[in-house]
Structure 1
């Protein structure tokens, strides 16, 4: 289901239980539109995510690790100034809207108690995180500034008076009413009733309205069906549901109208972590990659166009032998060629004296015409060597950039800094000025570690720096190395000299999954001992050559990757 008003109601209930009376211990802004508050409550640390991401806005407790920037953002510094050490006294939802208020008590610089409200508005591209001074009603800071040129109704800028989002003329479904009875009588079909419920009640997304309509059309007491539907948001049963199109959706309850229950979770936050992990990660990577994606895509396009032109040039050089032939025939029959001719037909003694038409320049002598053909022949012959060299260089550039593009697609936000640094070293990006302290504080990311079913360690490199380090320095010569055959992807190392067939298959699945062929049905994966791998002098990062390999064919399986539990 969507993160609508009803799901917000359920999430607020969960957050109230876990966070109220908790102290805000840490504040970070790891990503542009996301704030993480670490709240100490009930003897535990709760990392609370407030996301104003336009695609995946939400509020939840998250256990997904994140990487903080070396230098905190201005917004993060302002949040620390006002909220560090503050107490959360109340968490409430505005009516049944997608707006959540965290009421926070703290002390100002003079030691006087003051009350602030941290507001998250979960409204797609209009989502925002706002800190308001309760006494003055002024905005202290906001994660996304919205000026008068963007919104005439309300300014979302520091110093502006906070105005609530425009209210809808709809009823709160949790406030006692009997309106649903009239709607059920007027609209006998589920689809139309769902539309009317959405228009009548606040905070009903399409999924919630569809399930409520289906429930209200069931035999039995309407009031009981209506109340049971709302009760599941007071005591939610976090559920992942498989739809008829094989996609999944999250819900606060069974939502039987949509499909089969695939999995239950202990909390709504755990459900959202599972559901959003890959999609939200991709979104974060795209945000952090910034111009990185654009530069790689443009360079890849430029090199592919260059390769096509070189191939055309190479095709044109195939005329070289014909030019030499015409020069020889002209030289043989030079006495028959007269100055001023524009063409002549002479016997081709290489092909049974079949007449061969030869173009001539009427400005040149017969001998100069022959020399011109030999000169053009020599020029094109020399071009073949040059063009072949350029084809090899350009193909190398294409392979490298294609590999980088795949790495960006598979990267975590922590990997982006290393990919950016590599592209800068390779000359694809301009050097950015970075403080020495900032560079020194950046720790190199490590390959992802997995355990095979029999306990064998398997390492997966996620970028070229990790791949080179893993294959050429970390791995023992007797370990086994795997990589998708002629497909960009990760280097995978099995830390064993005699891996079982099952371990080889599992490692091959990892190699296929962490490659450009992740969504393919069958992927060829080469495997060979590390001692048979070498890196040519001057080769691009991540590039190696090998011999004596064998090949496995596997189907990438995300469930198997999950089962190979990364080591903690």
Structure 2
């Protein structure tokens, strides 16, 4: 769903008026295929997102900056060296194609000022070529002679042999009459002066990204859970066979005792012995297998040894069977939850829970990149109460622990829906202040809403100061104990809830 040539043209039209006397302040990395140019025009700061993600190549303004990765890519560092502090002189789109070129005048990256230097730094022309060409999209940094100084990681130049230090070669123009001129989302009817086109694209690609991540996470969970189901069913079947063997322990003891009673009546080297079974009425004759290489005392000792070994193993095998069957039940329940989950947040919560319980392994090669990556994702959602106080809502069991034990201050108010699984909620309280009644109702409403009891007519919400909440050693994720505490009966008011949800800080 990369942008078409016509859609790019509409976005370039929106960008152009913002470039007069514009200065790039910083290059912000989102991931290795996406970055943001933060630049300032007199009177406003702007964030221009440039992404070459396969099938999501795009260019548009965004309203929020993202957190930076701890270690930016080498290309991002190169862009910062060339573009930070650069003046933007022009933007143009290659006619008939999805290639946009920014012309900038940057401080000469090779320049080293003398100690007594005064005056403006020397500047050189540079070009940022943004190829939004779908699967082979890329960004190239060119010097004044249009020599490639760097490009994004990966082989994304199509059939060209572009390399650093070589002249830039533009790709061939697409054939006439291709799908280059379609316009979606009615972009051409939106006002570029108020950035409506960028706002529309931000929403559309965020939705597309969520759908893609949801499909990807669903496939990963389904694969892991089905694999787990197969392994557990096989394990249960094997343990049941072991249990059946263990059940034969009494038979070994009986054979040993029958052979003892027949001592002196069995010849050495016999493969079996016919002995009366005095355990049964009428003492019928039974055949007891023997090891011909062993003496009779050795055969008797072997049967008693097998009896003791299997008898001692009985409790262990039964414990293994119960544990495996319980794990299989949990896995079956997780499969049912997966099939019933139709939202990304629910899938992410299920994923976190299953990893915590070690029912599935963490994703490796499967990217979990969201607008905020897993490493960057905060353990809470943030809302504003009636007075403007901050309310933090845990995202899941593991996140509840982080919120309650690491982030909540002793004077903050901690809330949770009583007798229901749900989010831990923290109402921030300033020093020497008391919680306002409306703020407390707001926080309790969120605690009720983000719990499994949200559809009940009345939800009891327990609250206390966070300093009274403890997590004993060995307690599972999200489980805590509280000292004292009070209870509010909450009937969720749609107007209050709507106001609170609208205040969420992304």
TM-score (norm 2): 0.65
Q: Measure, in 2, the Cα distance between the counterparts of 1:398 and 1:271.
A: 36
Summarize deviations over 1:265-316 as a string: whole Å, max 9, x none: 95111112222235547989999x9xxx99x999989987775565345423
Summarize deviations over 1:313-346 as a string: whole Å, max 9, x none: 5423433663233135335544469563558797
Q: Measure, in 2, the Cα distance between the counterparts of 1:403 and 1:457.
A: 35
- Which residue does 1:138 correspond to in 2? 147
1:493 equivalent to 2:425? Answer: yes
Q: Measure, in 1, the Cα distance between the counterparts of 2:273 and 2:20.
A: 96
Q: Using the TM superposition, give the Cα deviation of residue 349 of structure 1 relative to its aligned residue in structure 2, in angstroms.
A: 5.5
7 and 67 in structure 1: CA distance in 2 versus 1, 3 angstrom threshold: same
Q: Using the TM superposition, give the Cα deviation of residue 25 of structure 1 relative to its aligned residue in structure 2, in angstroms.
A: 1.4
Instruction: State how 1:480-559 maps to structure 2 within 5 Å.
Output: 480-481=415-416, 491-493=423-425, 495=427, 503-508=446-451, 535=471, 537-538=473-474, 542=477, 544=479
Q: 1:270 aligns with which of 199, 206, 213?
A: 199
**Residue ranges of structure 1 left out of the alignment (5+ in a row):** 171-197, 212-231, 239-251, 253-264, 420-444, 513-520
Q: Using the TM superposition, give the Cα deviation of residue 59 of structure 1 relative to its aligned residue in structure 2, in angstroms.
A: 0.6
Q: 1:318 aligns with which of 235, 243, 257?
A: 243
Q: Measure, in 2, the Cα distance between the counterparts of 1:114 and 1:24.
A: 15
Instruction: State how 1:146-545 maps to structure 2 within 5 Å.
Output: 146=155, 151-152=158-159, 154-170=160-176, 198-199=177-178, 203-205=180-182, 236-237=189-190, 267-277=196-206, 279-280=208-209, 307=232, 310-319=235-244, 322-331=247-256, 333-334=258-259, 335=261, 338=266, 340-342=270-272, 360-363=289-292, 365=296, 367-368=300-301, 370-381=303-314, 383-384=316-317, 387=320, 399-401=356-358, 405=362, 412=370, 416-417=374-375, 445=378, 447-451=380-384, 458-462=391-395, 466-472=399-405, 474=408, 479-481=414-416, 491-493=423-425, 495=427, 503-508=446-451, 535=471, 537-538=473-474, 542=477, 544=479
The more displaced of 97-106 and 117-126 is 97-106
Q: What RMSD, in angstroms, separates the aligned Cα atoms of the two structures?
A: 5.4
Q: Measure, in 2, the Cα distance between the counterparts of 1:145 and 1:31.
A: 13
Q: Measure, in 1, the Cα distance between the counterparts of 2:274 and 2:291.
A: 11
- Which residue does 1:82 correspond to in 2? 82
Q: Is the 8 A contact 2:107 2:123 kept in 1?
A: yes
- Which residue does 2:135 correspond to in 1? 125
145 and 318 in structure 1: CA distance in 2 versus 1, 3 angstrom threshold: closer
Q: Is the 8 A contact 2:383 2:505 kept in 1?
A: yes
Summarize deviations over 1:233-261 as a string: whole Å, max 9, x none: 6x5327xxxxxxxxxxxxx9xxxxxxxxx
Summarize deviations over 1:150-169 as a string: whole Å, max 9, x none: 754x2332211111111134
Q: Is the 8 A contact 1:62 1:269 kept in 2?
A: yes
Q: Measure, in 1, the Cα distance between the counterparts of 2:367 and 2:500.
A: 19
308 and 451 in structure 1: CA distance in 2 versus 1, 3 angstrom threshold: farther
Q: Measure, in 1, the Cα distance between the counterparts of 2:275 and 2:502.
A: 75
483 and 505 in structure 1: CA distance in 2 versus 1, 3 angstrom threshold: closer
The more displaced of 276-285 and 78-87 is 276-285
Q: Using the TM superposition, give the Cα deviation of residue 128 of structure 1 relative to its aligned residue in structure 2, in angstroms.
A: 0.7
Q: How many residues align?
A: 432
User: In structure 1, the residue corresponding to 2:69 is in which secondary structure?
Assistant: coil
Q: Measure, in 2, the Cα distance between the counterparts of 1:27 and 1:268.
A: 22
Q: Using the TM superposition, give the Cα deviation of residue 400 of structure 1 relative to its aligned residue in structure 2, in angstroms.
A: 2.9
User: In structure 2, the residue corresponding to 1:40 is in which secondary structure?
Assistant: strand
318 and 117 in structure 1: CA distance in 2 versus 1, 3 angstrom threshold: same
Q: Measure, in 2, the Cα distance between the counterparts of 1:404 and 1:497.
A: 39
**Residue ranges of structure 2 left out of the alignment (5+ in a row):** 112-120, 331-352, 428-438
280 and 237 in structure 1: CA distance in 2 versus 1, 3 angstrom threshold: same
Q: Measure, in 2, the Cα distance between the counterparts of 1:307 and 1:332.
A: 39
123 and 493 in structure 1: CA distance in 2 versus 1, 3 angstrom threshold: same
Summarize deviations over 1:481-506 as a string: whole Å, max 9, x none: 369989xxx84326487779854542
- Which residue does 1:565 correspond to in 2? 503
User: In structure 1, the residue corresponding to 2:450 is in which secondary structure?
Assistant: helix
Q: Is the 8 A contact 2:99 2:130 kept in 1?
A: yes
